[in-house]
Amino acid sequence: MYEHLTPGSGATHAAKNIRAHLKKLYPGGKFSVKTDHFANGNSVSVRWTDGPVQKAVDEALSGFVAGRFDGMQDIYDYKESAFGREFGTCKYLHTMRNCSDALVQKAIDAAVEKYGTWRGEQERRPPSLAEYRACILTDCSPISNWQGCWWDSWQGIIDTALVETAG
């Protein structure tokens, strides 16, 4: 099942296996994988544009994380796993999906299809890509009983659509 991964340990080796794992899971995707080493730890950062949703990538790479930081006790809580011992782990894994204008427009279109074009008091037009990118859609909503909550604003609704839309 993991024949595409090579045995080894440490964050640098984990990053090599993360690249191989992402290439196998998403053959058409282009990912940037970088390591960082610092006092008491290391991290791997993964970035990509469009492609799979972030939750799917996070789940696919969860075995490469050595544990989690417990802020209440101010300690790093290591979790031992056979996968991690064999293929490498990093202390922190950061994933970041960038969205192209085409994907954002696709999410705007899906939101408009679901909610209509209500923008404000008198205005009935869909939000634009430029307005979304400028982050100025936080004070308007397509929801009739809007209470001024960010997640019910056009900005929040489009963000939610992007989280759920694969590129």
Mean of pLDDT values over 104-129: 82
The pTM for the full model equals 0.86
Q: What is the mean pLDDT of the chain?
A: 91
pLDDT, position 125: 79
Q: Is the per-residue pLDDT at 137 higher than 60?
A: yes
CA 32 – CA 167 distance, rounded (Å): 17
Q: Are 132 and 108 contacting, i.e. CB atoms less than 8 angstroms apart?
A: yes
CA 50 – CA 27 distance, rounded (Å): 14
What confidence tens digit (pLDDT) does each residue in 62-84 have? 999 999 999 999 999 999 899 99
pLDDT, position 121: 57
Closest C-alpha among 45, 61, 156 to residue 98: 45
DSSP, res 1: -
DSSP, res 65: B
Domains assigned to the chain: 11-98 (3.30.300), 101-164 (no CATH)
